[in-house]
Amino acid sequence: MRAAITAVGGYVPEKVLTNKDLEKLVDTSDEWIQSRTGIKERRVMEDGTATSDICVASIEKILKKRSLKAEDIDLIIVATVTPDHVFPATANIVSDKLGAINAWGFDVSAACSGFLYALETGSKFIECGKHKKVIVCGADKMSAIVNYEDRNTCIIFGDGGGAVLLEPSEDENIGIIDSILKSDGSGREFLHQKAGGSMNPPTHETIDAREHFVFQEGKTVFKFAVTNMAQVSRDIMDRNNLTGADVDYLAAHQANLRIIDATAKRMELDQEKVLINIQKYGNTTAGTIPLLLSDFESKFKKGDNIILAAFGGGFTWGAIYLKWAYNS
Ligand code: UT7
């Protein structure tokens, strides 16, 4: 039995932070940010809100679209690096806020590849016949861990995310067909949050040293991202005998327009098949792919060949090949 995405929902907060706004905070320019990343603006959440709120808003859209009740959900998986708390899991908070009393759930931590890791995990519960309705969320409130005095990182990240509903596919040829997921923990030093975990618990010193914010060695991460996201996307095409002409859409992690372009080139894809919304939201970490699916859902037709691809902290990366399950 295959698992298929049968509904999607996305959410971004109202508040917009433009490149011009960032010019007032750090030594940067709208021109530099746009030409190096493709980002024009990003969204930021209000104080007092958290990643669970992105998930809840996204799932509520799915329930409304499909006339489902929260009680109908069997399992909720949340991919995030900005959980509401270290514990309990954000998935527990999401199910409580929704009233999903029949669901169990857990969080997945795989940074920008988190949604792909969670989608792979969720699909297995459908494929083995254990569950009928699985929600997979990818969401991050990156503004909670971004240092708005560090121009290397604050220009890239934004808040937002989305969710998908996975159900058993009635048609054996439709749904999630194949996946390749990778990790290499030796890359952790180039993209991480130094303090706050069991290695470096919070102290006055860690706060003063600004170790609770995202650290990224951009150039190194860029090099690994370009090579690996392009390679894994090409590998999944070759393994499934797909040419660039066979692929209808690429939904790639939105970290940098230049990385997405390099991946599309390697896949030999025409420009109109490459889904892009980085200009509006920046890099929402685990949120980018469900947000893309939600933004472009109306374009998708039943049977479309879609490749999802990501690269992120860990390092983690991967690609998933699916055949879209419905006409919107
Ligand atoms: O999502 C998870 C994975 N993350 C990624 O995939 C992100 C990968 N990395 C990137 O996207 C890029 O490396 C960045 C967008 C972060 C940076 O772009 P870059 O082209 O790699 O710039 P750079 O760090 O090599 O810096 C180039 C120059 C430097 O100046 P010099 O040494 O050439 O004089 C930097 O100091 O640009 C300078 N610079 C900036 N200038 C204006 C760095 N950041 C900024 C800035 N505004 N925000």
| 219 pocket-lining for ligand 1 (C-beta < 6 Å) | yes
Q: Is the CB of 22 under 6 A from ligand 1?
A: no
How far apart, in whole angstroms, are the C-alpha atoms of residue 187 and residue 222? 12
**Cα of 173 from ligand 1 centre, angstroms:** 43
Query: Which string of b and e fits 272-303 if b means at least 16 CB within 10 Å?
Result: ebbbbbbebbbbbbbbbbbbbbbbbbeebeee
Q: Is 192 a catalytic residue?
A: no
Cβ(135) – ligand 1 distance below 6 Å: no
| DSSP designation for 170 | S
Alpha helices in the chain (DSSP H): 19-23, 30-37, 51-65, 90-98, 114-127, 151-154, 204-208, 218-239, 257-266, 278-281, 288-296
**Ligand 1 binding pocket includes 179 (Cβ within 6 Å):** no
Q: 20: how many CB neighbours lie within 10 A of its CB? A: 12
Pocket test for ligand 1, best of 256, 283, 285, 288 (most atoms within 8 A of CB): 256
Q: Is 55 a catalytic residue?
A: no
The span from the CA of 300 to the CA of 46, in Å, is 33
- Spatial CA neighbour of 8 closest among 231, 295, 238: 295
Distance 90 CA to ligand 1 centre (A): 32
Residue 283 alpha carbon, nearest atom of ligand 1: 1
The CATH number of domain 175-323, selected from 3.30.70.100, 1.20.1370.20, 3.40.47.10, 3.30.565.10: 3.40.47.10
Catalytic residue among 19, 55, 92, 112: 112
- Tell me how crowded residue 237 is: count the other CB atoms within 10 A of its CB: 23
Compute the distance between CA of residue 319 and CA of residue 267 in angstroms, rounded to an integer. 12
Query: Start-end ranges of CATH 3.40.47.10 in the chain?
Result: 2-169, 175-323
Which residue out of 36, 113, 291 has the highest number of ligand 1 atoms within 8 Å of its CB and is therefore the one to mutate? Answer: 36
**pLDDT tens track of the chain, all 328 residues?**
999 999 999 999 999 999 999 999 999 999 999 999 999 999 999 999 999 999 999 999 999 999 999 999 999 999 999 999 999 999 999 999 999 999 999 999 999 999 999 999 999 999 999 999 999 999 999 999 999 999 999 999 999 999 999 999 989 999 999 999 999 999 999 999 999 999 999 999 999 999 999 999 999 999 999 999 999 999 999 999 999 999 999 999 999 999 999 999 999 999 999 999 999 999 999 999 999 999 999 999 999 999 999 999 999 999 999 999 999 8
Instruction: Find, among 44, 298, 40, the residue nearest to 148 by Cα.
Output: 44
Ligand 1 close to Cβ of residue 225 (< 6 A): yes
- Give pLDDT tens digits for 216-274: 999 999 999 999 999 999 999 999 999 999 999 999 999 999 999 999 999 999 999 99
Specify the CATH superfamily of domain 2-169.
Answer: Thiolase/Chalcone synthase (3.40.47.10)
Give the pair of three-digit tokens for residue 240: 């499934």
| Active-site residue, from 131, 253, 256, 277 | 253
> Any residues with CB less than 8 A from the CB of 173 and at least 6 apart, and which?
303, 323
Distance separating alpha carbons of residues 167 and 134, to the nearest angstrom: 7
Name the residue with tokens 């090409």: 234
pLDDT given at position 297: 98
Spacing, Cα 218 to ligand 1 middle (Å): 6
DSSP assignment of 105-124:
EEEE--GGGHHHHHHHHHHH
- Which one from 19, 228, 256, 283 is the annotated catalytic residue? 283
Identify whether 228 is a catalytic site residue. no
Calculate the alpha carbon distances from 129 to 3, 85, 152 in Å: 10, 32, 46
Distance 152 CA to ligand 1 centre (A): 6
CA angle 49, 52, 54 (to 5 degrees): 80
Beta pairing partners, 307: 250, 321
Q: Whose CA is nearest to atom 35 of ligand 1?
A: 152
Query: How far apart (Å, rounded) are the C-alpha atoms in residues 70 and 61?
Result: 11
Decide whether any atom of ligand 1 lies within 6 Å of the 214 Cβ: no
